[in-house]
A and B are shown apart, each in its own frame.
Chain A
C-alpha cells in the first residue's frame, strides 16, 4: 500500500442520536466525535443497537433524533465504506467481476492488476477467476476487504469485521486497518469481540 493521504481534516460527528425499532426505543443521546487516524469501537451486548448505530452513520437508517456529520477536507461525497454481513457478491460472477463492479460504483481502481494486488493482500489471489459461489464464508469476508482496498475512502464502517475470519484473516484485517489509519483514515467498528487493532475510543451501548 502506497502512502495514501486522504483530504484532511477528516471528522465524524454524531450528536444526540436516538434510535427506535418497531416502536421500541433502542438508544438515545448517543454522541461521539472522531477524526482521522482514530478507531472507534462500538461495543455492548446483543440488541443494544450496535449495528443500528453503524447503519445510522452510514445513512441507511433515519435517526429519530440527532444528526451525523461526516467531513473530509473539501471532498463533497463518497466518504464511506461499509462492511457488514452482506458482502454484495453475486454468486454467478467471478470474484474479479464482482470487485470490478464495486470499484466502478465506488470510484476505485478497476484494472486487472490492481484487483490482483488487492486480492493478494487479503490472501485470495488464487480465487480471482472463480465464481463467488465457490467461496467459503471467510473468503467472502476477505473479498469484502479487497473492496475496501480497491477504492480509497476516508471513513470505514465495519460491522462485526472479525466474524467469519480465521486467525490469519484477522491478521489481514489488522494490517489493512493499520494501513488505513496510517494514511489518515478513520474507522468505526461495531463488535462484541476484540478488534485486531486496539481502538483509540470506545463507545459502550447499554
Chain B
C-alpha cells in the first residue's frame, strides 16, 4: 500500500467538564489511503463526529486532543501544528462538509461572498479570479446556471442545492482529504443518492481521500472502500466494506447490520440492540459494549485490543472468531 494520506494513531479527544472527563474519543487508529473513502460508522455519542473535528483541529474547549495522540497528513504532524498552520491546512488540504446544509451557509451572506472568501483565504488571487474558480466549482458539482446562483442567498436554495454548494466550497482547493459529517442525513432519499454518487465520482476523479461519518450503514455500504465502526470512543471493527458487511466479527457491528430493514425482514420484528450507549463520563472497566452484548463472557471485563483476525479485517472483541 502507498503512503496513507491521513494516518491517525492513538487519537484521544477528551472533554474536561465539571462533571468529569468525557472521553469522547479514546484511542482511535486508522489510515486513509489516497483516493480511498473510509466510512466511519457509529451511533450518536460514539465519537465519530468528534474524530472528524479533531482531524481539522476544530475542537472547542473544554475539549482538547490529549497528549500522545497523533494525526499525520502526508507525514505532517497536525496535533503539534501552530494555529496559523492549521488554519492554512483547513479548507485547503483538509475540507469538511457538515451535516445540516440549512445551517452551514451563513444566511446573511451571498453565495459568491462565501465562496470567494474561501478562495482568498488560501490563495493571493484577484476577486475576479476567485469568482471564476467558484463558478467552476459549482459547475463541477452539477449546479445549473452558476452565475445566477452565485449572486443568490442561501435561503433561495433547496437543501440539496445548499449541500452541493457546501461540497463545491469543500472542493475549491482540491483538498487531499474531505471529512464529510453525515452530509446526506438531512436530505431526502433521492437527493441523498445524487450526492453520494457525486461524492464517489469526485473522489475517483481527483484522488481525494474521504472520511464519511454516518450512523447509516446502508449509506456507506454502497460508498466506502473500508468501514470503521465506532463505539463509545473506540473503533471496535475496521475492514474492507464487503468483509465488514458480510462477515462482521464484532457483536455490535452484527447488531447494527441486523437492525437495518431489508426485504427479507418484511413482516418480522426488526432486531434491535438492547440498552443504551454508556455515559462517556463513567465508562465501565473492560469492553464498553459488554452490558449490551449477547455473547459477553467473564473475559470481557478486561479491554480487548484491536486484533487483525482476518487479513485487513480487525476487531476489538475477545470472541470475534467465536461470533
A binds B: no
